[in-house]
Amino acid sequence: MTISMSSASLPVFKTMLANLSHILDKGAAHAEARKFDPAVLLSYRLAPDMLPFTRQVLIACDGAKNGIARISGVEAPKFDDTESTFPELKARIQKTLDYLASVPEDRIDGTEDKEITFPVGRDKTRTMKGEAYLKHWVLANFHFHVTMAYAILRHNGVELGKSDYLAGAKG
């Protein structure tokens, strides 16, 4: 059996975004239990030149949304990037999941050889075939930002383990 572009993308995004939402719940609960302002976690970064937690979540959502949009040709919604609380970030994740659910699989499947040009940085673009774009750019970038969000919370004492990162994984 061959793997399709839709089966290699949509379930992965759905599972990991649900896991990210679960991780956000644990971060919010941690701040509440320890009675500190959740903004401390939301603005935290692991290194001075790294984007903060909130941006990691927004970029993960945008990576899934924009990656599927470019592959499928189905226009992605524009989000304002104004989220600044755990509930607002969870709503952003849900809006992303809603968009992904609206994209027909047949718009994704068969795009392995489609030329996709996408921005890399502020002034450059890159072009890749659909399958390479999905496997080597979109998924890698998406997982990077989900992992960084997890790492920021874990570094700050939120009780997270591998089982939280993989909470929704199906086998």
Mean pLDDT by 10 residues, the chain (171 residues): 92 97 97 97 97 98 98 96 97 98 98 97 95 98 98 97 84 55
- The range of the structural domain enclosing residue 19 comes to 12-122+154-165
pLDDT given for residue 121 in this prediction: 86
Indicate whether 65 belongs to any domain: yes
pLDDT given for residue 2 in this prediction: 81
Indicate whether 131 belongs to any domain: no
The DSSP annotation for the chain comes to -PPPTTTTTHHHHHHHHHHHHHHHHHHHHHHHHTT--THHHHT--SSTTSPPHHHHHHHHHHHHHHHHHHHH-PPPPP------SHHHHHHHHHHHHHHHHHS-HHHHTT-TT-EEEEE-SSS-EEEEEHHHHIIIIIHHHHHHHHHHHHHHHHHTT----HHHHTTT---
- % of the chain beyond a pLDDT of 90: 95
Angstrom distance (rounded) from CA 22 to CA 93: 11
Indicate whether 135 belongs to any domain: no
Say how many domains are in the chain.
Answer: 1
Indicate whether 143 belongs to any domain: no
Indicate whether 159 belongs to any domain: yes
Indicate whether 129 belongs to any domain: no
pLDDT given for residue 83 in this prediction: 97
Indicate whether 117 belongs to any domain: yes
Q: What pTM was estimated for this model as a whole?
A: 0.95
pLDDT given for residue 167 in this prediction: 82
pLDDT given for residue 80 in this prediction: 94
pLDDT given for residue 171 in this prediction: 55
CATH number at residue 35: 1.20.120.450
